[in-house]
């Protein structure tokens, strides 16, 4: 026992009072800040520490610390600029020669010489800066275990020496140019550089190093290759900047070791920053790059930019000569950087890209602007830009505008601060601090005199076995990749700003189709094929059909219908098909009238990523790769909005927390092709921000599809132009029609029907005259020419007069009238009239049993099991003075109804006790009937007493444009508010927007031209918001809030609690009592929980009648109070295989007397005892079962008593 105690004391004493030598020769303060905390802490813990350093602390309180000052090593450092692959070995050579120079300068120091030459000098541990292999000689000289420490990612040779993998395709050297997706040739170059570096490090370097070491330590020193390896390596790397690789136990990451708790700022700096309400910017280029040494032109760019900023600027300027700066700029030779960054008013940190500065900025939660100059700074800036916490600029090519834009973007865009706060939380979430970890492992080496037991077996593996095999495998894999890339299977990976990616591939499936592409997002994959006929159709429009089909097998489900297979298209499939159609149709050539079909075939659904976005992008890729003429590609993204942050392609779970569900389809040059959204009352500025962000992200998809098209795309078909009108006929058509068409379109007294009839008369007269004068001309071509002329004149008049065909100004609404509570039997009703658009809306309230149940696949993709609010939209033919079939709902009606439902859903309360069915019947239509449904639906809901959060309204916006001579750029445009049917048909856009006074609830942009600039989209949304507010004011004059006074016919719902033993009485045999209540009163009684029932009645009188019936059922005969343990007479009313059913009193629900309780003997059937219906027995009562509430009876105990 005493021996064990002495052993523990001796080991602890060794660890707590060791003599330690630290050797650091690289003259850089940024390196020193990582090393100093370790040897400071070791000295505070009682160790005798001697440190050779160019950055002495000179702290008199550290009595156990002895410093040998070699600050003379601070001489001009070779500038190592951005390392290209081709210059890697040149960099390695430069760094190696500089290391030799530093070592020789170090060894000329008299105190160092004395330390080495003293034979009595002893150290228990040597800590060295691992970037310098020559320093291993100190460990060999004092025969002590070595601990390496490094302020940046370590070299490949050190990783290999510790047994860590150095696969060059996965883990590039930290000074190489950064790329998260290196090309094949880059991987090969990485491999070659790795092999060359290993030759230099393993053969050439030791030979040179041996001569230098023996020169200063004596000829007796063995070869460098015999010195052994580090016991441990403490390396200042973090998961954000270094690739995650498996590490042996001897490699200890110590990220953020130098970051300390913030200390109070000097009073002048504290006051300056506190009085900076616009925020402040901190600018420092670190210790190796001096601001005062920058080229004059670059200095002037920086000075002009900083002086124009609205923020206070703190600039670390090292020289005496201070340039003329703006009043907002303050310079000092030195700032307490970590404490400055901790101030809440610091918005941006402008720096050179150093690792330690990056770590300080992350731990202080301050986003950055990176200006890299030397070495690994270029790599670091690329990484933090990829992380979404910084913007990077090339300081040698940046302009004042680009620098200012970067600073303001970082300062004002909240996404950068939110992202860096996320990284900060990850960095802080550690079991112990890096300093405590470093001290523990350092003392661990002392306690155990090394770490031979932690060494990896890979350390002793021959170089060729490890290196050349990797080179062979890498080369083989890359050759296979090359073969795949040049063969039929080709893919591109689209990276989004949030780190997610979309994979688009082609060449594997459906090779007979004109085009095929597979899109994959997460584990959701969709195959899209496109086929177009080679002969034109007789129609004068594009006969495009999009079929989007959800496959149950893709989600691991079996259809639940009778046939157990997919049947006709569901509502979800139809709406998604329309979404894809509107994303593709605008980019087909105007004269393309060939039957074209797009089929979206689901391959797999992961339940996380929605397949609709994948389908749009895969369809875009399939069309771009095909020979079908199409002016794409387009890119589509889903945009969410969570906690004031835009989220690209949110998952289904994330979408549930988002107040926005926006689909943006865009084409090149940031042109918007399609928009569709539903939102929880999102603010206009937030919606506009989301649209801009989505359009920008879509450009990544477009560029990658373009790369794929250039690689394996087919040449496009040449479309033969159709027959055209001769100039003579065109002139005659214009002469006969122009004035008459203008006269009709400028007659503001004409309504929809009168205008159509007038234009038809002009058409008939003109076509008759043309036929008489040109009998051989094709009438269909003339008719098409007339249609184009009418459209052109219609549009020209809007540009010429800024007036519309009904006399309204561009932003003017039509006359609006509203009525509510039209028919008493209805729960809610309203009539909304806007011009010649009239919509009749009704609201029906029913029980939750009437909620719409969704199919299993829709549940998987949408996450909603049932809907207790749904809208049904009807558009009968008489609404446009036509005849036609009235039957199943059409695709157009389904789409308009779904849009109106989205516009109203956010204002419906979540806890409403009824299912709501809102019907909208269009009685007259002259444009924007879906938005009229939103208005009429709001009025009907309020009339029905539904406590909506706030009224909603909708309006449709239109557009007419003029293009330049090449038909590529819009030169002029007019945005129209509250469009007519003819303005929709003749115009370029139907942009429907619904929302409340506060924000937007739904929108849908049907764009007919090949892309809309963001400027027009922003203008249209603003004008729609203004119009929406005016409509709401008119609606409020009809009914301003939900009706409070109940109507007699409103349904009511109540809850009923029933004691457990009375449930059977309420239900009756087979639910007979509940069926009787429903048959006689129309009241539904449904069980919610074990003892809780919900009573739904169509009106209050029915509720009262049903409650009376329930009361009678439950209290017809009062249940006698039975005494526990009492003996009662029981009458047999039924004989079963398992026992007999008995009653103890009249009106009692029969209770089971089980076979096991009939007699002391085992009873297989009651007949064995001669029991019969009507026979009376003596039974003992043991209360009720606490769970089921059933009686517990026994005859057996009584028979035992008799015996």
For residue 326, which of 311, 347, 337 has the smallest C-alpha distance? 311
pLDDT band at 225 (very low <50, low <70, confident <90, very high): low
Give the CATH superfamily of 267-420: Glycogen Phosphorylase B; (3.40.50.2000)
CB 678 within 8 Å of CB 905 = yes
954-1010 tens-digit pLDDT: 999 999 999 987 778 899 999 999 999 999 999 999 999 999 999 999 999 999 999
1018-1071 tens-digit pLDDT: 999 999 999 999 999 999 999 989 988 888 888 888 888 888 878 888 888 778
HEC assignment per residue over 825-858:
CCCEEEEEEECCEEEEEEEEEECHHHCEECCHHH
C-alpha angle 444-450-454 in degrees, rounded to nearest 5: 85
Q: Is 145 helix (H, G, I), strand (E, B) or coil?
A: coil
pLDDT band at 356 (very low <50, low <70, confident <90, very high): confident
Classify domain 490-561+569-632 at the CATH topology level.
Answer: Ribosomal Protein S5; domain 2 (3.30.230)
Specify the higher pLDDT residue, 192 or 486: 192
1080-1090 tens-digit pLDDT: 888 888 888 88
30/116 Cα distance (integer angstroms): 28
- pLDDT at 502 exceeding the cut of 70: yes
Q: What is the CATH number of domain 727-801?
A: 1.10.10.400
Specify the higher pLDDT residue, 1147 or 747: 747
Please report, for residues 54, 221, 1161, the alpha-carbon distance to residue 105 in angstroms, rounded to integers and kept in the order given: 12, 20, 106
1188/1203 Cα distance (integer angstroms): 33
pLDDT average, residue stretch 1171-1186: 90
CATH number for 1127-1202 (one of 2.10.10.100, 3.40.190.10, 3.40.50.300, 2.40.50.140): it is: 2.40.50.140
Q: Name the DSSP letter for residue 554.
A: G
Helical residues (DSSP H) of 1010-1055, grouped into ranges: 1014-1038
HEC assignment per residue over 844-905:
EEECHHHCEECCHHHHHHHCCCEECEEEEEECCHHHHCCCCCCCCCCHHHHHHHHHHHHHHH
Average pLDDT for the chain: 84
CB 1198 within 8 Å of CB 1181 = no
Which letter, b or e, does each residue of 19-38 get, where b requires 16 or more Cβ atoms within 10 Å of its Cβ? bbbbbbbbbbebbbbbbbbb
- pLDDT at 7 exceeding the cut of 50: no
Q: Are strands 232-235 and 251-253 parallel, antiparallel or unpaired?
A: parallel
Residue 204: the pLDDT is: 44
Residue 697: the pLDDT is: 92
- pLDDT at 1200 exceeding the cut of 80: no
pLDDT average, residue stretch 63-76: 84
Q: In what order do the strands lie in the sheet with 48-53?
A: 65-69, 48-53, 19-23, 125-129, 146-150, 232-235, 251-253
76-86 tens-digit pLDDT: 544 443 333 33
Please report, for residues 350, 373, 575, 760, 1013, the alpha-carbon distance to residue 395 in angstroms, rounded to integers and kept in the order given: 12, 7, 50, 67, 32
- pLDDT at 93 exceeding the cut of 80: no
CB 698 within 8 Å of CB 635 = yes
Specify the higher pLDDT residue, 817 or 864: 817
Residue 556: the pLDDT is: 72
Please report, for residues 361, 392, 506, 611, 859, the alpha-carbon distance to residue 606 in angstroms, rounded to integers and kept in the order given: 38, 36, 21, 9, 12
- pLDDT at 1179 exceeding the cut of 80: yes
Range scoring the smallest mean pLDDT among 36-45, 164-173, 381-390, 914-923: 164-173
Q: Please, where in the chain does CATH 3.40.50.2000 lie?
A: 267-420
319/314 Cα distance (integer angstroms): 15
pLDDT average, residue stretch 589-597: 90
Q: State which H helix or E strand residue 1200 sits in.
A: helix 1196-1202
680-713 tens-digit pLDDT: 999 999 999 999 999 999 999 999 999 999 989 9
pLDDT band at 198 (very low <50, low <70, confident <90, very high): low
614/800 Cα distance (integer angstroms): 44
CB 166 within 8 Å of CB 160 = yes
Q: Please, where in the chain does CATH 3.30.1370.10 lie?
A: 1052-1115
Q: Which residues contact 889 (CB under 8 A, 6 or more apart)?
A: 872, 874, 897
Q: Name the DSSP letter for residue 492.
A: E
Q: Is 146 helix (H, G, I), strand (E, B) or coil?
A: strand
Q: State which H helix or E strand residue 820 sits in.
A: strand 816-820
Range scoring the smallest mean pLDDT among 218-227, 352-361, 445-454, 992-1001: 218-227
Q: Are strands 1176-1184 and 1127-1136 parallel, antiparallel or unpaired?
A: antiparallel
Could you tell me how many helices (H) and strands (E) the chain has, helices first? 33, 42
Q: Tell whether omega for the bond before 633 is within 30 degrees of 0, i.e. cis.
A: yes
- pLDDT at 298 exceeding the cut of 90: no
Q: Would you put residue 1125 in left (φ > 0), alpha (ψ -120 to 50) or beta?
A: left
Please report, for residues 836, 877, 893, 920, the alpha-carbon distance to residue 882 in angstroms, rounded to integers and kept in the order given: 15, 5, 16, 19
Residue 224: the pLDDT is: 63
Domain 13-253 CATH class label: alpha beta
Residue 908: the pLDDT is: 92
Q: In what order do the strands lie in the sheet with 1084-1087?
A: 1052-1057, 1092-1097, 1084-1087
CB 798 within 8 Å of CB 808 = no
C-alpha angle 521-523-527 in degrees, rounded to nearest 5: 65
Residue 862: the pLDDT is: 59
Q: Please, where in the chain does CATH 2.40.50.140 lie?
A: 1127-1202
83/91 Cα distance (integer angstroms): 7
Bridge partners of 1096, per DSSP, are 1053, 1084
Q: Which residues contact 6 (CB under 8 A, 6 or more apart)?
A: none
Domain 816-1038 CATH class label: alpha beta
Residue 11: the pLDDT is: 39
- pLDDT at 450 exceeding the cut of 80: yes
Bridge partners of 51, per DSSP, are 22, 67
Residue 69: the pLDDT is: 92
516-541 tens-digit pLDDT: 999 999 889 999 999 999 888 887 77
pLDDT average, residue stretch 565-592: 88
Q: Please, where in the chain does CATH 3.30.230.70 lie?
A: 490-561+569-632, 816-1038
Q: What is the CATH number of domain 1052-1115?
A: 3.30.1370.10
CB 576 within 8 Å of CB 549 = no
203/538 Cα distance (integer angstroms): 79
Q: Name the DSSP letter for residue 499.
A: S
């Amino acid at each position: 026992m005493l021996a064990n105690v002495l052993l523990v004391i001796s080991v602890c004493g060794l660890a707590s009072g060791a003599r330690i030598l630290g050797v650091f020769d690289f003259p850089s303060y940024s390196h020193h800040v990582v090393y100093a905390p370790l040897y400071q802490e070791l000295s505070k813990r009682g160790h005798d520490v001697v440190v050779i350093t160019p950055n002495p602390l000179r702290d008199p309180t550290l009595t156990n610390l002895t410093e040998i000052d070699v600050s003379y090593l601070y001489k001009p450092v070779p500038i190592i600029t951005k390392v290209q692959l081709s210059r890697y070995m040149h960099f390695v050579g430069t760094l190696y020669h500089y290391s030799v120079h530093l070592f020789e300068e170090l060894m000329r120091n008299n105190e160092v010489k004395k330390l080495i030459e003293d034979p009595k000098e002893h150290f228990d541990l040597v800590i060295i800066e691992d970037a310098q292999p020559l320093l291993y000689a100190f460990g060999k000289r004092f025969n002590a275990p070595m601990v390496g420490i490094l302020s940046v990612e370590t070299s490949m040779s050190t990783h290999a020496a510790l047994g860590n993998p150095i696969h060059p395709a996965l883990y590039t050297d930290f000074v190489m140019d950064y790329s998260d997706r290196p090309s094949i040739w880059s991987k090969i170059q990485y491999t070659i550089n790795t092999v060359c570096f290993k030759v230099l490090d393993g053969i050439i370097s030791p030979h040179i190093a041996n001569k230098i070491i023996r020169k200063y330590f004596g000829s007796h020193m063995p070869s460098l290759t015999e010195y052994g390896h580090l016991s441990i390596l403490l390396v200042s790397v973090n998961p954000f900047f270094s690739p995650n690789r498996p590490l042996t136990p001897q490699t200890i990451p110590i990220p953020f070791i130098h970051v300390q708790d913030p200390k109070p700022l000097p009073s002048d700096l504290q006051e300056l920053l506190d009085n900076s309400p616009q925020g402040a910017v901190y600018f420092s280029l670190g210790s190796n790059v001096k601001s005062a040494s920058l080229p004059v032109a670059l200095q002037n760019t920086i000075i002009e930019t900083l002086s124009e900023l609205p923020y206070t600027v703190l600039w670390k300027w090292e020289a005496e000569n201070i340039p003329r700066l703006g009043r907002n700029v303050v310079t000092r030779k030195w700032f307490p950087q970590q404490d400055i960054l901790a101030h809440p008013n610091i918005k941006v940190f402008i720096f050179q890209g150093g690792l330690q500065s990056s770590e300080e900025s992350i731990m202080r939660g301050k986003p950055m602007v990176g200006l890299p100059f030397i070495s690994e700074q270029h790599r670091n800036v690329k990484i933090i830009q990829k992380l979404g916490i910084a913007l990077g600029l090339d300081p040698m090519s940046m302009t004042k505008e680009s620098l200012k834009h970067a600073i303001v973007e970082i300062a004002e865009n909240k996404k950068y601060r939110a992202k860096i706060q996320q990284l900060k939380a990850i960095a802080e979430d550690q079991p112990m601090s890096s300093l405590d970890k470093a001290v523990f492992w350092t003392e661990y080496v002392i306690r155990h005199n090394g770490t031979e037991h932690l060494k990896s077996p890979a350390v002793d593996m021959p170089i060729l076995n490890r290196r050349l095999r990797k080179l062979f495998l890498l080369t083989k894999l890359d050759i296979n990749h090359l073969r795949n890339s040049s063969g039929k299977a080709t893919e591109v990976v689209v990276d989004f700003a949030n780190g997610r990616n979309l994979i688009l591939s082609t060449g594997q499936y459906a090779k007979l189709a004109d085009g095929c592409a597979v899109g994959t997002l997460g584990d959701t994959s969709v195959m899209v094929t496109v086929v177009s006929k080679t002969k034109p159709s007789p129609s004068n429009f594009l006969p495009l059909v999009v079929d989007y089909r959800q496959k149950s097998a893709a989600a691991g489900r079996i259809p639940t219908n009778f046939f157990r297979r997919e049947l006709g298209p569901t509502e979800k499939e139809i709406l998604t098909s329309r979404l894809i159609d509107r994303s593709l149709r605008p980019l087909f050539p105007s004269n393309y009238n060939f039957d074209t079909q797009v089929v979206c075939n689901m391959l797999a659904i992961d339940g996380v990523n929605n397949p609709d976005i994948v389908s749009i992008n895969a369809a875009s890729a399939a069309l771009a790769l095909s020979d079908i003429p199409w002016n794409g590609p387009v890119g589509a993204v889903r945009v969410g909005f969570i906690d004031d942050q835009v989220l690209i392609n949110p998952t289904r779970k994330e979408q549930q927390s988002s107040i926005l569900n926006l689909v943006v389809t865009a084409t090149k040059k940031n042109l918007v092709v399609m928009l569709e959204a539903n939102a929880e009352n999102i603010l206009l500025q937030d919606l506009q921000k989301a649209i801009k962000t989505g359009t920008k992200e879509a450009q990544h998809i477009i560029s990658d599809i373009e790369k794929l098209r250039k690689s394996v795309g087919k040449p496009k078909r040449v479309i033969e132009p159709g027959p055209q009108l001769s100039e003579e006929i065109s002139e005659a058509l214009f002469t006969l029609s122009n004035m008459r068409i203008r006269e009709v379109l400028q007659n503001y007294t004409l309504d929809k029907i009168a205008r159509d009839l007038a234009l038809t008369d002009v058409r008939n007269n003109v076509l008759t005259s043309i036929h008489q004068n040109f009998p051989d001309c094709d009438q269909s071509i003339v008719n098409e020419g007339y249609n184009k002329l009418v459209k052109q004149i219609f549009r020209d008049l809007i540009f010429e007069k800024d007036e519309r065909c009904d006399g309204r100004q561009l932003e003017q609404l039509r006359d609006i009238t509203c009525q509510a509570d039209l028919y008493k039997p209805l729960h809610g009703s309203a009539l909304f009239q806007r011009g010649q658009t009239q919509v009749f809306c009704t609201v029906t309230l029913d029980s939750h049993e009437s909620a719409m149940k969704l199919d299993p696949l829709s549940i998987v993709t949408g996450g909603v099991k049932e809907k207790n609010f749904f809208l049904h939209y009807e558009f009968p033919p008489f609404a446009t003075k036509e005849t036609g079939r009235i039957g199943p709902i059409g695709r157009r009606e389904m789409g308009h109804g779904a849009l109106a439902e989205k516009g109203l859903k956010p204002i419906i309360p979540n806890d409403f006790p009824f299912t709501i069915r809102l019907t909208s019947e269009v009685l007259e239509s002259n444009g924007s009937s879906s938005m009229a449904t939103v208005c009429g639906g709001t009025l009907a809901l309020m009339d029905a007493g539904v406590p909506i959060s706030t009224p909603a309204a909708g309006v449709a916006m239109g557009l007419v444009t003029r293009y330049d001579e090449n038909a590529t750029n819009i030169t002029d445009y007019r945005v129209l508010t509250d469009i007519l049917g003819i303005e929709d048909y003749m115009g370029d856009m139907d942009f429907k927007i619904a929302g409340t006074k506060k924000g937007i609830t739904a929108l849908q942009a049907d764009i007919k031209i090949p892309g809309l600039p963001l400027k027009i989209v922003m203008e249209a949304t603003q004008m729609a918001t203004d119009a929406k507010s005016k409509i709401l004011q008119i609606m409020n004059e009809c009914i301003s809030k939900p009706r409070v006074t109940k109507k007699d016919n409103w349904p009511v719902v109540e809850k009923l609690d029933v004691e457990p033993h009375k449930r059977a009485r309420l239900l009756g045999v087979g639910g007979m009592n509940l069926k009787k209540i429903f048959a006689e009163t129309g009241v539904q009684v449904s069980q919610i929980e074990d003892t809780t029932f919900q009573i739904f009645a169509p009106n209050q009188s029915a509720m009262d009648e049903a409650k009376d019936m329930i009361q009678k059922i439950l209290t017809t005969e009062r249940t006698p109070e039975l005494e526990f343990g009492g003996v009662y007479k029981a009458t047999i009313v039924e004989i079963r295989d398992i026992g007999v059913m008995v009653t103890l009193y009249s009106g009692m629900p029969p209770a089971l007397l089980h076979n096991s309780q009939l007699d002391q003997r085992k009873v297989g059937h009651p007949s064995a005892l001669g029991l019969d219906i009507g026979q009376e027995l003596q039974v003992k009562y043991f209360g009720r079962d606490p769970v089921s509430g059933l009686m517990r009876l026994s005859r057996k105990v009584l028979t035992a008593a008799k015996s």
